[in-house]
Amino acid sequence: MAERLLFPSARTALALLIAASIGGAAAPSRAQTVPIPKPAPKGRDVQMSASDGQKGPMTTGATAVPPNPVIPDPRRNVPASIFATFDDKQKAQAARVSNYLSSLQTVVGNFVQVGPDGTKTKGEFYIQKPGKVRFEYEPPNPIAIVADGSMLAVRDRRLATQEIYPLSQTPLRYLLSDRIDLLKDTNVVSVTADDLYISVTIEEKQLLLGTSRLLLMVGAKDGQLKQWTVTDPQGYDTTVAVYNLDTSKKVDPGLFKIDFTDHSSPMPPG
C-alpha cells in the first residue's frame, strides 16, 4: 500500500481515489491550461482557478467537452478544529449539498481524473444508490472499480488482479449513501462558497492510519456535483471532475456485481 501511495502509476493513481481513507471520496468548453499538482503537496503554490466553472442542467444525452479539473490549493489542509462552528449561511450551503446528494438515485456520466503526479485519465461511471458504483477507465487503462453495496473491488484486467475493500472504509460512501446530512453524519471542517462552487471538506482521523480528507464541490448556480478531491494521510491529492451527468438513464444491475473468485481475464501486453 505504501508503494502505491508514494509512486502512483496509471494503475495505482486510480486506486488512490477509493483507498485514500483506508490506505493511509465542470468546466467550460474552452481550452485551458490545467494546474498540475506536484508529488509533494506541501511544496506547491497552486491556486484554485475560478475560471473553470460549469453551467447548465443535467444532460439527458448531450455530450460536453471533458472538463479541466480544478486543482485545489493544498493550503486548505491546514489543521482545523473538529468543533468548528458554522454560521447560518454555511449551514444552508451544507444542507443544499446534503439534499442534492440525497436526491440522487441513479447517475451515469463521464469523468476526468488527475492523480497526485498530474497524470490524467478519463472514463465513464455508473451510480445506483445505495452503495453501488462502477468506474470504467478508457483503454489502454485496464482498471475497473466496482462497488456492490457493501464491498468495493479494484480490478486490473492486465495483471489479472482484484483488490477488495469494505465500502464503509472508503470516501465513496458519502457519495453513495441513500440519505446523508453532511453536518450530522460526517466531520465537516470547512464550508465555503464563491460564484462558481459550494465546497465542503470532510475530515477523517484514524488512530493508526492518520488523517484523510474529502473535498466535495457542487455548482453554486445549478447545485450539481462538479468534482471531488481525496487527500490521503500523506497529503497526496486525487481529483475527479464529472460531466455529462444523466439521472434518467436506467443502469444494468449486472454492472455492480463482484465476482470474488474471478480476478478478471488477463489482457495481452500492449
Per-residue pLDDT reduced to its tens digit, 89-134 = 999 999 999 999 999 999 999 999 999 999 999 999 999 999 999 9
Contacts with 133 (C-beta within 8 Å, 6 or more apart), sequence order: 125, 126, 127, 145, 146, 147, 172, 175, 176, 256
Residue with cell 444523466: 246
What does DSSP say about strands 225-231 and 237-246: parallel, antiparallel, or unpaired?
A: antiparallel
Partner residues linked to 133 by β-bridges? 127, 147
Q: 236 near 41, Cβ under 8 Å? A: yes
Give this prediction's pTM.
0.71
Low-confidence ranges of the chain (pLDDT < 50): 1-57, 59-60, 82-83, 265-270
- pLDDT at residue number 75: 61
Integer Cα distance of 52 and 220 in angstroms = 13
- pLDDT at residue number 194: 95
Longest dimension (CA), the chain: 56
- pLDDT at residue number 80: 52
Contacts with 93 (C-beta within 8 Å, 6 or more apart), sequence order: 191, 193, 198, 200
